[in-house]
Chain A
Amino acid sequence: MISNNMSIFLIFISAMMVNNILLIRFIGLCSFFGVSNRMETSIGMGMAVIFVMVIASIVSWLVYHHILVPFHLEFLRTATFILTIASLVQLEEMVIRKNSPNLYRAMGIYLPLITTNCAILAVAFLNIDYNLSFFKSIIYSLGVSLGYTLAIVMFAGIRERIELSPVPKSFKGYPIAFITASLMSLAFLGFKGLFGL
């Protein structure tokens, strides 16, 4: 478990490897299976998640500690966070559409879906649940989003190869993808115990 007493390095490694958000914590799986068909789209998705997640946790941390807590409105955090994140994603969508139309076309419906990407919202909640300080919550969200990118890019690489391999008929498509994810998750489980985490 992560706490505010841990050093920055340990928080980072724990967020990225030991508690990898996709393979160990099971958060953000829809996009993990949805956009990982091709290497380029999954890199694009990873970058989008890094960008949104870091900014979202900065904004949500400030909103929680400087607006909700002083007014004793903690029970509104679910609604507040999701609305904050939804508007941030709109912003990012506009930026990507303007600067990189190719990427925008490749990711298609998945950009608006980042709004309902549980990974972004989960990190906003976990920053609060773990009682992280402002600086450490940035490090944590950076670690989580890099872990997300690492996992989704590796997974896309494996899936591109699976497409060329003879897979039993009923396992074609999603079933074999899940079993691949299971083996990757097993590998990530090996990080458990690293630095006594």
Chain B
Amino acid sequence: MKIWLSFTKGILKENPVLVLMIGLCPALAVSSTVRDAFGMGIAATFVLVCSNIVISLLRRAVPHQMRIPIFIVIISTFVTIVDYVMAAYSPSIHHALGVFIPLIVVNCIILGRAEAFAYKNPVLHSTMDGLGMGIGFTLIIVLMGAIRELLGNGTILGSPVLGSGFEPALIMILPPGAFLTIGFMMAIKKKIWGEK
């Protein structure tokens, strides 16, 4: 039961972007299309799960004062792997995400989960926590990508959905649209679930 809880809390109750307010930069920057948002979500989830597993395994061996630099080295190893794998297998997404791939290393979600969860919990729980947080993050940025792509371009995943009569609001795929989308998403979340 508790393992299941470790998994589900990241998706809604402690959603990293909407509730904990961390990991905002990639969420806003790469969510102009569904495809880029999905690529970012997968990359971050991979790093999050792998680093949670390794940190959880090493948690007894890591001295308390040295933990942050050690976490960062572990995380940056996985980020380098993702960086090179993406460049080899999907160069177009790699190009679209640009500097945001190496920046996964300072994504607050990953260091935050390492410090707050993986460092204190057994491997299985940490894996599920990483998976849940990663999925929660991916869901939000894909949703943002869908909203922005639909309103700003009239398409989803590149195929037109809204018909020819729709006049796309270009602002939604430009930077201001990202702030606007997440502002409204948070307001709606607050309206439905109330003050946290």
B-contact 0/1 string along A62-79, CB 8 Å cutoff? 000000000000011111
Contact B175 A178, beta carbon cutoff 8 Å: no
Contact B176 A183, beta carbon cutoff 8 Å: yes
Contact A186 B176, beta carbon cutoff 8 Å: yes
A9 CA / B177 CA spacing, docked (Å):
29
**Residue B76 at the chain A interface, CB threshold 8 Å:** yes
Contact A116 B25, beta carbon cutoff 8 Å: no
A86-101 residues with Cβ-Cβ distance < 8 A to B are: 86
When the two chains form the complex, which single residue of A82, A126, A168 contacts B105, counting CB atoms closer than 8 Å? A82
Secondary structure call for the A interface: helix
A41-86 residues with Cβ-Cβ distance < 8 A to B are: 75-79, 82-83, 86
A29 CA / B187 CA spacing, docked (Å):
19
B135-159 residues with Cβ-Cβ distance < 8 A to A are: none
Range for the number of chain B residues in contact with chain A = 35 or more
A117 CA / B171 CA spacing, docked (Å):
27
Within the complex, what minimum Cβ distance (angstroms) separates A31 from chain B? 10
Q: How many A-B residue pairs have CB under 8 A?
A: 118
Contact A186 B25, beta carbon cutoff 8 Å: no
- The stretch from A20-28, A136-144, A146-154 touching chain B is A20-28
**Residue A134 at the chain B interface, CB threshold 8 Å:** no
Contact B179 A178, beta carbon cutoff 8 Å: yes
Closest-by-CB residue of B relative to A81 is B102
**Residue B85 at the chain A interface, CB threshold 8 Å:** no
Given known A116-B108, A121-B105, contact A185–B175 (CB-CB < 8 A): yes
Range for the number of chain A residues in contact with chain B = 35 or more
Within the complex, what minimum Cβ distance (angstroms) separates A85 from chain B? 9
- The stretch from B50-58, B66-74, B126-134, B160-168 touching chain A is B66-74
A-contact 0/1 string along B159-191, CB 8 Å cutoff? 000000000000100111111101110111011
A179 CA / B103 CA spacing, docked (Å):
25
Name B residues whose Cβ lies closer than 8 Å to a Cβ of A.
Answer: 21-22, 24-25, 28-29, 68-69, 72-73, 76-77, 79-80, 83-84, 98-99, 102-103, 105-108, 111, 171, 174-180, 182-184, 186-188, 190-191
- 17 A-B contact pairs sorted by A residue (CB < 8 Å): A26-B25, A27-B103, A30-B25, A30-B108, A75-B84, A79-B77, A82-B105, A83-B72, A117-B106, A125-B99, A172-B190, A175-B184, A179-B179, A179-B183, A181-B179, A182-B179, A189-B174
